[in-house]
Amino acid sequence: MNGLNSEAEVSGTKTYLALSVVAPAGDQIRAGQKRLEIRKWKPDVLPLRDLLIVQNQQRLSRTGMSEDPAGTVVALVDVVAVREWREDDLTAACATRWTPGWVAWELVNVRPVDHTRFVPARRRLYELELRPPVAPGLPAPSPDGHRVIMLRPDLKNIPAAPFPEGYGIRPMTTDDIGLWTDIQRDAESYFKIADTLFRQEFGEDLEAIQSRCFILTNPKGLGVGTISAWYDNNFHGQRIGRIHWVSVRPSCQRRGLSKAALAYSLKQLAQWHDRCYLVTATARVPAINLYLNFGFVPNLSLPNAAAIWQELSPRLKYPALNL
């Protein structure tokens, strides 16, 4: 079976066989870092030629969604073999833990490509009709812009930033998941927040929530923000800290809460890690300026990262970034 239909449509579109993956797996495939795609199931026919890789932000099998309309085309690949997944395949799969009984799709002939519009991400293999993707340039952005990774090379000299009078921070519990979701929905202007988002992001280690996830509180003790001093077991093959899901209700923004929460969370991370990273997007300029002010720097390891930061630089308070 080929991913590309042999007959071109009059309109210039072609029908591709597609496979959706959750970010950052698509970026890792595109960069040649992820050479195995791990699944519970095998395709009916091999080889798969010109299989379109579509990256999206939500794991459909966990959310119960049948489709995510905000998928991004990242690469064309060939799948020439599917075999048993082995424990020594973790690096090639960009995985953090091994589970027996799953299968490894061997990805070869990876061709980074771009497409200027969002496409649907669906479960299993599915067909997409679109104009042939173009050679790499800047990929089509998400609603909040291009994804960027920022790295703090160490956890020393963390700036001091006290909370405003009456505001504070407390540890989360699983009883706060509904509150956490409500805060995200109040603060997020680009994406729909699913009921299952918290467990999707943190469900693999619920025991760590009380020490790593936090609720920001107002003078009445009500929850007005979130932040997490989380971790990643496989950031370029290493375990490091991660600042995750920094959100403040609009009614409490511009009061220094994000700054105070970031200072607090970095100090928490320093108990367990010697460096950390975060993921944000180019439309979130105030957040990026805050992170730059706190010692985070652009991580240029992913394709097009340097070009994205050069395009973003004039909008920042730190235009002289060393790119």
| Three-state DSSP string of the chain | CECECCCCCCCCCEEEEEEEEECCHHHHHHCCCCCEEEECCCCCCCCEEEEEEEEECCCHHHHCCCEEEEEEEEEEEEEEEEEECCHHHCCCCCCCCCCCCCEEEEEEEEEECECCCCEEEECCCEEEEECCCECCCCCCCECCECEEEEEECCCCCCCCCCCCCCCEEEECCHHHHHHHHHHHHHHCCCCCCCCCHHHHHHHHHHHHHHHHEEEEECCCCCEEEEEEEEEEEEECCEEEEEEEEEEECHHHCCCCHHHHHHHHHHHHHCCCCCCEEEEEECCCHHHHHHHHHCCCEECCCCCCHHHHHHHHHHHCCCCCCCC
pLDDT of residue 111: 83
Over residues 181-230, the pLDDT tens digits come to: 999 999 999 888 889 889 988 988 999 999 999 999 999 999 999 999 99
Over residues 169-189, the pLDDT tens digits come to: 999 999 999 999 999 999 999
Residue 167's pLDDT band (boundaries 50, 70, 90)? Answer: very high
The one-letter amino acid code at 105 reads W
* Residue position matching structure tokens 């990805």: 107
Burial of 314 (C-beta count, 10 Å sphere; 0-12/13-18/19+): exposed
**Quick check: 38 and 146 in contact, CB under 8 A?**
no
Over residues 57-94, the pLDDT tens digits come to: 877 766 567 788 888 898 899 998 999 999 888 988 99
